[in-house]
Amino acid sequence: MHVAIVLYPGFTSLDVIGPYEVLGRLPDTEVVFVAEQPGLVRNDLRSLSINVVAGLADVPEPDVVLIGGGPGQADQMADGNLHEWLRTVDRTAAWTASACTGSLILAAAGVLNGRRATTHWAALGNLAEFGVTPANERVVIDGHYATAAGVSAGIDMALTLAGFLAGDDMAQAVQLIIEYAPEPPYHAGSLDVAPAKAVEIAKAKLSGRLS
């Protein structure tokens, strides 16, 4: 199985590294990072770069294509080579997936038209602009599309995909291998439960970063 994870300048690391850790541990699976401009691609915090060796043309028929989000997503919304590639590979891929605001890129490319999808809570309403039904859920499966809410939800989405691709036993084994059993010290992981002050600070920090 061939998994292609799309990178672009300003991506959020966990959006892609979480799913990479999960999907890369499935049997007979090769994960490749792909970018419109191969080379060192720097994340949103500008302190981590991934050396991408594959261009879009080098990966014409992945079984799974996944794109993450991050502030750089805003620069990937115009139709162009990336959107054309996404539309092309979507026709043959078993799964087209996203984490965080990566779903906005898929939506702008037209592949989520008429579908339900999710994204980071700060950008959820934007999906409707592209003919997508926003779903305030951590993971949404609609047809062969799998979308995850913000950042860490990409791990949940990838484990869900792992179950479809390799069976529940293997997906659970991968979950055990990466010891994914979250016990966060705070009850502030969603708008529904986060204290008002935390929401205020988060919105201020995200202002201008998420479309």
**Cα–Cα distance for residue pair 211/207, rounded to 1 Å:** 9
Which candidate in 14, 50, 77, 100 is catalytic? 100
C-beta atoms surrounding 40 within 10 Å = 11
Name which of 107, 102, 109, 100 is nearest 81 in CA terms. 109
Name which of 92, 105, 101, 139 is nearest 121 in CA terms. 101
Q: Is 170 a residue of the active site?
A: no
Sheet containing 64-67: order of strands: 54-55, 30-35, 2-7, 64-67, 95-98, 145-148, 139-142
For the annotated catalytic residues, the residue numbers are 100
